[in-house]
Amino acid sequence: MKKLTQATEQDLIVGLQGLDLNLEAKTLSGTGLVFDEQLNEFHCLWDDSFPEGPERLHAIKEQLIQEGLLDRCVSFQARFAEKEELMLVHSLEYIDLMETTQYMNEGELRILADTYDSVYLHPNSYTCACLASGSVLRLVDAVLGNEIRNGMAIIRPPGHHAQHSLMDGYCMFNHVAVAARYAQKKHAVQRVLIVDWDVHHGQGTQFAFDQDPSVLYFSIHRYEQGRFWPHLKASNWSTVGFGRGQGYTINVPWNQVGMRDADYIAAFLHLLLPVALEFQPQLVLVAAGFDALQGDPKGEMAATPAGFAQLTHLLMGLAGGKLILSLEGGYNLRSLAEGVSASLHTLLGDPCPILESPGAPCPSAQTSLSCALEALEPFWEVLVKSAETLEEDFLEEENVEKEEEGPWQPPALAIPAWPVLQARTGLVYDQRMMGHYNLWDNHHPEMPQRVFRIMRRLEELGLAGRCLTLPTRPATDAELLTCHSAEYVGRLRATAKMKTRELHREGSNFDSIYICPGTFACAQLATGAACRLVEAVLAGEVLNGAAVVRPPGHHAERDAACGFCFFNSVAVAARHAQAISGHALRILIVDWDVHHGNGTQHIFEEDPSVLYISLHRYDHGTFFPMGDEGASCQTGRAAGTGFTVNVAWNGPRVGDADYLAAWHRLVLPVAYEFNPELVLVSAGFDAARGDPLGGCQVSPEGYAHLTHLLMGLANGRIILILEGGYNLTSISESMAACTRSLLGDPPPLLTLSRPPLSGALASITETTHIHRRYWRSLRVMKVEDKEGPSSSKSITKKVTQPANRGSCVGMITPDGNILDTDAGKPTSASPVAASTPDQAKSETTVVEFSQDQTSEAPTGEDTADQTPSEAATGEAAVDQTPSEAATEGATWDKTPSEGGAEMIPTPPALCTDNQTPPASPAQGATTQISPSKLTENLRTLDLNSEAQEAANSQIPEDERLLGEAAGGQDRDASGLTQSFGEHADADQVVLYAVTPLPWCPHLVAVCPVPESGLDVTQPCRDCGTLQENWVCLSCYQVYCGRYVGAHMLQHHEVSGHPLVLSYIDLSTWCYNCEAYVHHQALLDVKNAAHQNKFGECIPHSL
């Protein structure tokens, strides 16, 4: 067995010792709470029925007292925000104006309030708003000063609608915006995440940061295609920020009422959490409105308090747990009080209640999510390939459940139950389990020291002392017989009396097994320990637990030992849980051991009460235990079909980014839909960095995050049972990290050094496609265009390389207002900049095409309701897809109308490649457009016609591709020339050149040039043609291009090899990225081809 060299082992130890795991004193505890009765000293003087009133805080206080939460929190005195602090977001003139309201009479207050939208003023409004902002700032100081772990400000008035110089929507000062700027200025915080789950869009917060890449703003809100307040097109998914802030504004708009917990959770899993992990915030602020709760008269949604507990839990895994909630809206007093209470319970570390009816996201939610993902993909590496679409013929109609029609009618609001626990985390370990050892090989990887070293590390870090250590016991025969045959149990028991030679012979009868006289007793003890922990969790003795046991168990079959395993501890524990609960308890088994748990899969493959999810190295069936049992196509049998989920990695170096991608895209969506009552983890740590068998790169921090994310399920009842893991340092640090999470410590900061591997994404996507027929949470819905003509199209997607968000080219910053088209009031916004960041996608350099519009520029009102096609003249911007916003320099010259407020052109709801939103909400801003889009626009451009949408719908999807030489050139590229001919009166003509990607994630697939070199005259292997041939850079086979015989395209589809080199012009094309690539890694092969073609090396290097 291969061992790590001493140098390698030492390097690993040094690296792991640098973790915060070593510093027990750094673990913060305590939840701060600011609640000040002074905040109730204002109300609407002229309307007693106004929904934003003092009774909101009264109801919350009563609820918190009833549940004993006030005494559990660290109380902080509210303070007033200083003018200098408010000026971090608001203008001095505006602050001074608000200050004068203290001295106005009722009539003057009413006159001033009527100049704004949906506000009232009281002589104490200014004082209370300053106190509310200061309350959040006090928590910022406490959290960033390490006084507490997290906090909540229960304040009014709300703040997220307030803008630079404008009251709006009950809000005077923008508390979370001021807090973000304050954290950056006073505490040198570089990156802040603001999450806004209020049912109304926080346009004030968005406008404050829409050009700022240091603040990531995420809002999930009711929109209904702009019919819901604040009626702004900037609230739609199409607005992603401007200038250097492109990609840092994320809007998830709900376009129907009745949205449920499953819809909100899906938005967090598929979009917010992946982007947040890449963004790496140092502080998370939540604009915590609770008007999306069931029963709220404003929101008309159906979320539950338990759902908001889940959202809070998911956010607690970010920024090292530095999380502050600031109360915004919520106008059903009971729902508001329950929602605040649920979130506060979670901040305090209480387990999330089981969701009453989690289900899967509804079709409307999936549509909004798909559009938002499409819009954000160009800016975030982690989102690449995240919106894969399903081939229409993949799902047979009879196998797909019919989706619910219309809004969901919720049951009565459930009151969450919060368990009272004696201890939080149980721990089982018995040194007697070291009695199983290899008589013939002292260096066998499954060695007794594994469990000893883990326990020693837990004790060194003080973690064992924080756990409740439970006594162990051997498993009974009755327990073992729930998963194993009596003959097999008897056979293994008999080994205790065998001689050494007999033991060797008996072990050789199984696959990868050694047996010693103590083997049976140790295996019996390991399984019994797991059962004892199950008993403690189900009885409420502990909330969760960790079993440090050996030998491992997940390979053990009903009748056979296998892969170091004798009794299947996880399987027996699951059956024991069902037995003592008295019913078929819904149990989720997550197996993250690097080897597939063949035994566990077989035991439960016909049982729908147990969902088995395994993530493992498969390597096309060549990795242990070999064969096709771990393939993604294995989904279970009979009634259990769909309840076996295999994510099969086909290579080494899989790490944190890959496992988290699987969690967000597949594991958690399915788990929430299954809604387990108990979670068991086959916690092998042989996928850990440094393991001699796994060859993977998961870090202790990564395991901590995986554990934390699973803890939101099953009312927090989760048990980790040790399986494999053969680097003693790795398994010790990894189990310690997981134990910290179980104890309620926030997961450590996790820096992802790279995006998910393309091969890992392929494995996740393959499993997702297979299981879409069984799990509605994995299905991609068709999009219904509700803003334009009725249509139904699948959401299509181009794989786009993320932007380099550090640069900005050609910024234009027009000043002005954005008009609220429905309310008819000007909304002040910070100057908007539309610019083109350097993007890693194949870009197109476009020479300006000008249209003389000076004489017919319409006013803002004239263009308010124009579609992008109708707005091709005047002020309106040309529509474009998010990925096409990467192109540089294409502008439409526009002349601002005099006196007209600038409008946001109406974006279509359908997020297809040929129909997406304008880039900028301000008139006069640069609009970027790609050549394929330009071709399409010019082909259909008729300034007096209303038929553009019909023309667009007739353009085949493949005509919208940029121009892939090896796999598919735009067949109608000639349309560009034709279009210029049709519009020859244009002032300028567009010329464009393709700029290749400077890097792509598939360069790892490039193999060294064969020793025999390259022959650019080599014919196509399939048809023998000498025209337009390409060479595969993985296997160096030669095939012809698409417009000859398309044999290279066929080769890619069969082999999956991504990169090919043209023997015509020596360009390199990546099928997966759908882009040309030019990188140092390609220099050798390009030089070889150039030498063969021209007799000399390439004159200039990359």
- For the annotated catalytic residues, the residue numbers are 161, 555
Tally the C-alpha atoms within 13 A of residue 1098's C-alpha that lie toward its C-beta: 16
Q: Are 469 and 427 in contact (CB under 8 A)?
A: yes
* Sequence-separated (6 or more) residues with CB below 8 Å from residue 544: 424, 425, 426, 537, 711, 716, 717, 718, 719, 742
Report yes or no: 791 and 689 within 8 Å, Cβ to Cβ. Answer: no
CA angle, residues 935, 941, 943, in degrees to nearest 5: 160
- Strands, DSSP E only, in 711-816? 718-722, 783-784, 792-793, 809-812
**3-state class of 930 per DSSP?**
coil
Residues whose CB falls within 8 Å of the CB of residue 375, separated by 6 or more in sequence, listed in order? 237, 238, 240, 882, 911, 916, 917
Type of residue numbered 749: L
Under a CB-based contact definition with an 8 Å cutoff, are residues 220 and 199 in contact?
Answer: no
Residue 538: closest CA among 471, 587, 610, 473: 587
Query: Which residues neighbour 1084 within 8 Å (Cβ) at sequence distance 6 or greater?
Result: 1008, 1009
E-strand ranges in 778-816 read 783-784, 792-793, 809-812
Which 3 state secondary structure label does DSSP give 992? strand
Query: CA-to-CA distance for 564 and 577, rounded, in angstroms?
Result: 25
Interstrand relation of 783-784 and 792-793 (parallel, antiparallel or unpaired):
antiparallel
198-219: burial string, b at 16+ Cβ within 10 Å, e else: bbbbbbbbbbbbbbbbbbbbbb
Asked if residues 552 and 513 have their Cβ atoms less than 8 Å apart, the reply is no
Angstrom distance (rounded) from CA 861 to CA 330: 33
Q: Is 946 exposed, middle or buried (0-12, 13-18, 19+ CB in 10 A)?
A: exposed
Q: Residue 667 to residues 304, 463, 512, 738, 762: CA-CA distances in angstroms? A: 23, 28, 30, 18, 15
The amino acid present at 414, given as its one-letter code, is A
H/E segment holding residue 278: helix 273-279
Tell me: cis bond preceding 407? Omega within 30 of 0 counts. Answer: no
* Residue 331: both structure tokens together: 């106008």
Cα maximum dimension of the chain: 102
CA distances from 774 to 219, 393, 608, 767, 768 (A): 30, 16, 12, 11, 10
In sequence order, the 6+-apart residues with CB closer than 8 A to the CB of 499 are: none
Contacts of 783 (CB under 8 A, 6+ apart): 367, 370, 371, 792, 793, 794, 795, 909, 910, 911, 912
CB 932, CB 975: distance < 8 Å: no
615/682 Cα distance (integer angstroms): 11
Distance CA 829, CA 210 (A): 10
Q: Please tell me the number of Cα atoms within 13 Å of 839 on its side-chain side.
A: 32
| First CA to last CA distance, the chain | 43
Residue-wise over 146-183: b if at least 16 C-beta within 10 A, else e? eebbbbbbbbbbbbbbbbbebbbbbbbbbbbbbbbbbb
